Chains A and B, each alone.
Chain A
Amino acid sequence: MAASTAGWDSWHRLHPLSPVVQAGRRLVPLLVVLAVPFLSQGSSARSQTLIDAGLVGLAVVAGAAEWLVTRWRIEAGVLRIDTGLLRRRTTKLPLSRVQSIDLVRPGTARVLGLAEVRVRSGGSREGDVRLAYLAAERAEHLRDGLLALVRGSHTERGRAESLLARAATPRLLASTPLRGAFLWPTLGAVALLVWGRQLSLGGGGVAAATLILLAVGTGTARILSSQYGFEVAHTQDGLQIRGGAVGTFTETLALQRIQALRVVEPLLWRPFGWAKLVADVAGGQRRRDEDRAASGRIRTLVPVAPRAEVLRVAESVVGPAAREGGTAPPARARLKAPLSYPLLRAGLRDGYAVSVVGRFRRLTTIIPLAKVQSVRWVQGPVQRRLGLATVHLDAAGARTTGAALRDRSAEEARELLQRLPELCAAARRSPTARPAPVP
């Protein structure tokens, strides 16, 4: 498919059916709210019915009006959207600032053959631009064209990509009950149901159990529907991740946006050798007024797969550093960290630092030294007595990002502290140290 952006410098409208999808998403809750009194009262309140119908009509008209006044175009490397009936709003997004371009298709949009193009720029959520909705083909075409513009080439885009991993549905289903977020609340709810009567909690126990199960159910359903058919592939624009059961999404993640890769192995997955691969992604620069946690974003790359497969995907992103096992801390660290000692590892390789931490859940972090923001050395009272120290590598984003080389011997920590700033500086300057994809 040709990916030239010719023809996009004139004004375009969104797809005429987009108000239907938009309104559909707004109308469903509205109709539910309105239907409850309607059904319970029967047809006794006619004036009420009229008001309800008026409300629904208003929502439809508002949607149509919004469609009429919304238009977009690309003018000299800037994506521009004009919208708003009473208060006109113009959003201009220079394509040079674009971080990623995603395709999102909610269930209703899929039925109607529509898709939303979501353009994320650095910075906060306000930097995100949504074109909702376009015809699916057009949306893909626009996505490819915008990606080409962002790359700075106007050449036609090849469809060349290599599939790295695809989530197996049986494993996805089997791994779900073993998630901590599923298992512990469910066990709690069951315990409430079983022993609630003996503890004379009455109906309260049952109600609480029902609420817990409902929350767990919706949460699990959301995770399952977003991870169903999950695929990750290499394209020339970076990693492409896509999936979804009812609504689908396609997201392109430029490799230089990855701040760290993490291999997560929950306790109950470890007997089966399953793991999850996630990427820490910088959401651009954090502004002072911005929530710190919100700026640290995480993308799942592989929802659940055998560890070897996860490592293969990681290797295609960071190279042989993914295979680095690291070395264990000195045996005396067992006194300070008895539970996590068996898992603790740390190592340096090819411009990456690898750290393994965790008491029950094994968390392996692979962080490119080129992305390290600052290096911290910390020694607590117990560590001082044992001659140990921890070295932290801070990555952009929230407090929890980055890697910790835990409980290394004091001499090694000192040496790391001396070498790491130089290694990081060298990694930043060398272009080859950036994450290089293995095609």
Chain B
Amino acid sequence: MAAAAAALLLIGIGIALTNLPVGAALVVAALLVAGLGLAYVGRRFRSWGYLERVEDLLVRRGVMFERLSVVPYGRMQTVEVTAGPLERSLGLATVQLHTASAASDARIPGLDRATAADLRDRLVGRGEATAEGL
């Protein structure tokens, strides 16, 4: 969405040099798209959530497609903490739980690094306490 807005903006400015009304319309459209995008990013950001329950972890996400995953601690095989270049520069990290199923979907992005490390340690501890096989 950001890319679409940027492209619209550049094309609009380019056209505005020769044909002012059309160019201006495009620039306005670009700003609208950017605004919508920002609002959507906000909604998407707010849609993320997780809840540590006694026996399992709940992870919620999505605006268009709402998803809620329940992963029992006993089913965790690995807990992964990753931080890409962008996340690193912002001091963030992503915690991801893996089970034996490739379809399990328990990723928690955008945690600050200390929270991510704490969460990982707690999850590993609970996983060891309740570990079960296949």
Contact = CB atoms under 8 A, between A and B. Distances in A.
Interface of A: 257, 259, 282, 284-286, 288, 292, 295-296, 371, 373-381, 384, 392, 394-399, 401-402, 417, 420-421, 424-425, 428
A387 to B, nearest CB: 13
B120 interface: no
B30 interface: no
Given A282-B134, A374-B75, A378-B67, A425 B101 contact: no
Contacts of A373: 71, 75, 99-101, 104
Nearest to B70: A375
Given A376-B105, A428-B132, A421 B99 contact: no
B55 interface: yes
A286 B100 contact: yes
B5 interface: no
B66 interface: yes
A282 B101 CA distance: 10
A392 B103 contact: yes
B74 A428 contact: yes
B78 A401 contact: no
A392 B66 CA distance: 13
B67 to A, nearest CB: 5
Contact of A396 (B55, B72, B101, B105): B101
A257 B100 CA distance: 13
30 contacts: A282-B134, A285-B134, A286-B102, A373-B75, A373-B100, A373-B101, A374-B70, A374-B103, A374-B105, A374-B106, A375-B69, A375-B70, A376-B69, A376-B70, A376-B103, A378-B66, A378-B67, A379-B65, A379-B67, A380-B65, A384-B66, A394-B101, A394-B104, A396-B99, A397-B100, A399-B102, A402-B103, A417-B68, A420-B70, A424-B72
B87 interface: no
Contacts of A282: 100, 134
Given A378-B67, A421-B55, A425-B72, A399 B134 contact: no
- Smallest CB-CB A-B distances: 3 pairs: A396-B100, A373-B101, A394-B101
Nearest to A375: B70
Contacts of A420: 70
Contacts of B106: 374
Nearest to A392: B103
B65 to A, nearest CB: 5
Contact of B78 (A288, A375, A397): A288
A417 B102 contact: no
A428 B99 CA distance: 15
Contacts of A285: 77, 100, 134
Contacts of A424: 72
A421 B75 CA distance: 12
Contacts of B55: 421, 425
B78, B102, B104, most chain A CB atoms within 10 A: B102
A257 B55 CA distance: 24
Interface string B73-84: 011011000000
Nearest to A381: B64
Given A285-B134, A373-B101, A376-B70, 19 more contacts: A259-B134, A282-B100, A285-B77, A286-B77, A371-B134, A373-B100, A374-B72, A374-B99, A374-B105, A374-B106, A375-B69, A377-B67, A377-B68, A379-B65, A399-B103, A421-B56, A424-B72, A425-B55, A425-B72
